Amino acid sequence: MRLLSIALKNIAGNWWRSLSLGLFVFLTSFILIVFNSLFMTVTGNMQDALINSLTGHVQIRSEFTEEEDMLAMKTSWTELHFLSCSDLEGITAVLNSKRLDYTQRVRTNATLIKGVEQDYAMIIGHDPKEAHYRLAFGLEQGRYLSPSATGEVVLASYFAEQLQISVGETIQAVSEAGSVSLTVVGIGDVQMLSMFGYNAVFTDLESARVLAGYESGEATDVIVFVPESDQTKEVFTQLDAELQGVTLSVWEDMGGFVFNGISVYQGMGFIFILVLMVIVSILIINLVFMMGMERRQEIGTLKAIGYSRKDIIQIFLGEILIIAVAFCSLGIAAGSGLVLALSNIGFEFGPPIDFMMGKVFYIQYDFKLIFPMAAIVLLFTLVAALWPSWHAATLDPVKTLRD
Amino acid sequence: MLVSVKNVYKNYTLGKTTVPALRGINLSIQEGEFVSVAGASGSGKSTLLNLIGCLDKPSSGEVWVGERQVNLLSERELNSIRLKTIGFIFQAFNLISVLNVRENVELPLLIRKDISKKERAERVARFIEAVGLTAQARHKPAELSGGQRQRVAVARALVTHPKLVLADEPTANLDSKTGIEIIDLMQAINRENRTTFVFSTHDPKIMQRASVIYHIEDGVLKSELA
């Protein structure tokens, strides 16, 4: 504490150097908060798109199916084992008793035909009352599936272009098991997942059952939505204990290559932080080294009157810690303020940026970012300052006094 | 015997050349003496003071401060001796520019864990008063004259109650009148507290004030006058 008073005086006395160091720390904290919010939002949006359009938080399916078949493009959905009526009765009874939000799904493959145009598609049939897919599927034309009607379809824009079809027209869906006529009520894309080649076709359960060859009451799987993503594991554990003869998976295990895409975003975030911190560390090392050089005579004097290397390192690190804490707090406050201000403004993006950011992007702020970001900045700053501080403390007093 | 220097040699290496700074110095300083080390610039005065002050180690020979052979001690032990036994006064004053007079004088006491905050404050006030700078206690070094700055350095050197004060050309950066005043101040403290002073100078007027004068020439002790 006694040496901190010297550190404080040095900060005030060498205010230009202190300000330079503080500016590095401020900008680093500011950039880390803003860019991490950006990465976190993009990653979160992609996770939400995956969960809401495809996987739910927890999937309950036949015990003879594979974990990643949800997104395995090479696997034919027509060949999937499915849940029987009795399986579904048991599952829905448990889910209802826990008041969980869920929907049955019938997944199958079919050929979509309009006149002479045709294309092969992965069809998802679900309860039209199910609303989660709407959060992920951005409409360009038309509307979502009617909660009460059957024989409607919402198409990915890719198919609309391939089949040259628009809202209100009818297409034929044909599989080995049967065929149905579907009226196109909406055209759009699952935000962010469309860049992975996921072109969604949503219809009602009954139409999908015809195409899959299922009896009434049968489904490929049941997907469960939990209020908060961090409750997934807990709900999974509870359901896994209660449900027999079925397989359960959490969304992270079903994400397949899409989850790899999310990992790429997270990796980009980590690399960005690492590169930024290495640059800042080099700047800090240089700056503290210069501080030591400028204060050679002061260091020599302190050593002459009995200050040890440890005392001098404490003075230097004390100065740097005070500056770092003050300017890191300011940087985090400014970065948080900017993100919070921008979080109410939706940024609209067109192709190709909308593939990555979504059509309308709202940046999100998470208070949980504050402590890890502050810890990273302070840790790197102190570690970067350690060597030049030690170097300054080991200067030969005879040489410094002679200079 | 407070200081004993026995057959001390000190060589500096400059590239491939070895330059002898001190050659076979022998001297002893008694407690309470007011000693001048005289000699021309480059004669080895500062080197001798650095060895006695535990800032440097001899190439050969022995340096004793009190009962301890300081050239054999670790850095930690030398720090402790410099902190508790020796005070330093420098030609360029060497005050910390961002600290005021009171804080500069307090500097050596900040790392003395055996001295309470109250005692620290009392000592600092007493020595600032002793050097006549009470009115300037809150002034920064830049706001003081050369003589006043050297008085602060004297107070800083004395505040730890050292047995020995080493002053390397303490008057070299001062006009002759102020230089005499600083020497008078040091002499008064020497007489009052029996603190041993060893100062280097090449000014004949200043060296005449000493009770013992050592003359050094080219690293060799030429004469000792009392």
Chain B environment of A311 (Cβ under 8 Å): 111
* Residue A273 exposure: Cα atoms within 13 Å on the Cβ side: 22
Cross-strand pairs, A246: A62
Strands A246-250 and A179-190: unpaired
Note whether A307 contacts B79, CB cutoff 8 Å.
Answer: yes
Angle at B157 between CA B156 and CA B159, to 5 degrees: 65
Distance, in angstroms, between A4 CA and closest chain B CA? 10
Say whether pLDDT at A26 is over 60.
yes
Kindly report whether the global pTM for this prediction surpasses the value 0.80. Answer: no
Across the interface, whether the CB atoms of B46 and A402 are under 8 A apart is answered yes
**Please, what sign has the CA dihedral across residues A210, A212, A213, A219?**
negative
Taking the Cβ of residue A104 and every Cβ of chain B, the question of whether any pair is shorter than 8 Å is answered with no
How far apart are alpha carbons A97 and A91 in whole angstroms? 10
Residues of chain B contacting residue A3, judged by C-beta atoms under 8 Å apart: 110-111
Determine the residue of chain A that is closest to B82 in CA distance: A306
Show the CA angle centred on residue B107, arms to residues A6 and B99, nearest 5°: 50
Helical segments of A98-219, H only = 132-136, 157-162, 205-212
Per-residue pLDDT band for B31 (boundaries 50, 70, 90) equals: very high
CA gyration radius for chain A? 30
Q: Using an 8 Å Cβ cutoff, are A346 and A362 in contact? A: yes
Q: What is each CA distance from B63 to A123, B30, B46, B69, B71, in whole angstroms?
A: 94, 14, 15, 6, 6
| B158 backbone dihedrals φ, ψ, rounded to 5° | -95, -20
Query: B127: which chain A residues are within 8 Å (Cβ-Cβ)?
Result: none
Contact list, B76 vs chain A (CB under 8 Å): 308
* A302 to B107: CB separation less than 8 angstroms, yes or no: yes
pLDDT of A7 over the 90 cut: no
- State the pairing for strand pair B60-65/B212-217: unpaired
What is the least distance, in Å, from the CA of A1 to any CA of chain B? 10
Q: What is the DSSP letter of A215?
A: P
Distance, in angstroms, between A299 CA and closest chain B CA?
A: 10
- Burial of residue A157, with CB atoms counted within 10 A of its CB: 0-12 exposed, 13-18 middle, 19 or more buried: middle
**Interface with chain B: mutation pick from A305, A312, A315, A401, highest number of B CBs within 10 Å:** A305
State mean pLDDT over A50-58: 88
Average pLDDT over residues B193-212: 90
Nearest residue, CB atoms, B55 vs list A10, A308, A397: A397
Instruction: Give burial (CB, 10 Å; 0-12/13-18/19+) of B219.
Output: buried
User: Per-residue pLDDT for A73 more than 60?
Assistant: no
pLDDT of amino acid B99: 93
Best mutation target among B79, B91, B106, B112 (most A Cβ atoms within 10 Å) is: B79
Grade residue B73 by pLDDT with cuts at 50, 70 and 90: very high
Mean pLDDT of chain A: 87
pLDDT average, residue stretch A283-302? 89
A400 touches chain B (CB under 8 A): no
Q: Which amino acid is at A228?
A: E
Average pLDDT over residues A362-384: 91
pLDDT beyond 70 at B95: yes
Residue of A nearest to B100 (CA): A9
Q: Which residues of B touch A307 (CB under 8 A)?
A: 79, 111
Mean pLDDT of the region B51-56: 94
Taking contacts as CB-CB distances below 8 angstroms, the residues of chain A near B83 are 305-306
Residue B123, C-beta contacts closer than 8 angstroms, at least 6 positions apart: B109, B115, B159
Q: What tokens appear for B206 in the block?
A: 């200043």
Tokens of B117: 């905050």
User: For residue A296, how many other CB atoms are within 10 A of its CB?
Assistant: 17
> Mean pLDDT throughout B87-108?
93
Quote ipTM for the complex.
0.91
A204, A145 Cβ separation under 8 angstroms: yes
- Residues A83-111, mean pLDDT to the nearest whole number: 91
Instruction: Please answer whether residues A186 and A144 qualify as being in contact, where contact means their C-beta atoms are separated by less than 8 angstroms.
Output: yes
Q: Using an 8 Å Cβ cutoff, are A303 and B86 in contact?
A: no
What is the per-residue pLDDT for A355? 63
C-alpha dihedral sign at A304, A305, A308, A311: negative
Q: How far is A306 from chain B (nearest CA, A)?
A: 4
pLDDT score recorded for residue A6: 84
Q: Starting from the edge strand earliest in sequence, which strands make up the sheet with B220-225, in order?
A: B86-89, B164-168, B196-201, B34-38, B212-217, B220-225
> What is the pLDDT averaged over residues B210-215?
93
A13 touches chain B (CB under 8 A): yes
Which chain A residues contact residue B107 at CB under 8 A?
Answer: 6, 302, 305
Contact A9 B76 (CB under 8 A): no
Find the residue in B nearest to A314 (Cα): B111
Question: Which residues of chain B does A397 touch, with a Cβ-Cβ cutoff of 8 Å?
Answer: 55
Spatial contact of A104 and A219, defined as CB atoms under 8 Å apart: yes
Render pLDDT for A128-174 as a digit per residue (tens, 0 to 9).
788 898 888 888 899 999 988 889 999 998 899 999 999 999 999 99
Who among A10, A300, A305 is closest to B83 (CB)?
A305
pLDDT at A63 over 60: yes
**Chain segment B102-145, per-residue pLDDT in tens:** 999 999 999 998 899 999 999 999 999 989 999 999 999 999 99
pLDDT in tens, A191-228: 777 666 678 899 999 999 999 999 888 999 999 999 88
Q: Does A12 touch chain B (CB under 8 A)?
A: yes
- B199 has which bridge partners? B36, B167
SS3 of B163, please?
coil
Helix H or strand E encompassing B9: strand B3-14
As a whole number of angstroms, the distance between CA A193 and CA A268 comes to 18
Chain B residues bordering chain A (beta-carbon distance below 8 Å): 46, 50, 53, 55-56, 75-76, 79-80, 82-84, 87-88, 90, 92, 94, 96-99, 103, 107-108, 110-111, 156, 160
pLDDT tens figures, A248-279: 988 888 766 667 777 787 788 889 888 988 99
Please determine, for residue A72, whether its predicted confidence score (pLDDT) is greater than 70: no
Burial class of A74 by CB neighbour count within 10 A (0 to 12, 13 to 18, 19+):
exposed
Q: Give, for A310, the enclosing helix (H) or strand (E).
A: helix A309-342
Query: Per-residue pLDDT averaged across A28-52, rounded?
Result: 88
CA distance linking residue A141 with residue A145, whole number of Å: 13
Provide the chain A residues 369-398 that lie in CB contact (below 8 A) with chain B.
Answer: 397-398
Beta bridge partners of B165: B87, B197
Q: Which of A60-64, B70-74, B99-103 comes out lowest in average pLDDT?
A: A60-64
Spatial separation of the C-alpha atoms in residues B26 and B4, rounded to whole Å: 8
Query: Which residue of B59, B82, B118 is the best one to mutate when testing the A interface, meaning the one whose CB has the most A CBs within 10 A?
Result: B82
Predicted local confidence at residue A341, as pLDDT? 93
Q: What is the rounded average pLDDT of the residues A309-337?
A: 94
Cα separation, A296 vs A403, whole angstroms: 8
Q: How confident is the model at residue B85 (pLDDT cuts 50, 70, 90)?
A: very high
Structure tokens at B163: 């047995």
Q: Rounded CA gap, A264 and A128, in Å? A: 33
Work out the pLDDT band at A232, boundaries 50, 70, 90: very high
Residue A283 half-sphere exposure toward CB, CA atoms < 13 A: 15
Report the residue from A13, A304, A309 with minimal CB separation from B82.
A304
**Facing B79 at nearest CB: one of A306, A398, A401:** A306
- To the nearest whole Å, the CA of B94 is away from the closest chain A CA by 6
Q: Which of A51, A4, A28, A16 is nearest to A223 (CA)?
A: A51
B6 to A71, B28, B36, B51, B219: CA distances (angstroms): 88, 8, 18, 12, 14
- Cα within 13 Å of Cα(B135), Cβ side: 3
Contact A66, A75 (CB under 8 A): yes
Q: Which of A294, A295, A301, A403 to mutate to test the interface with B (most CBs of B within 10 A)?
A: A301
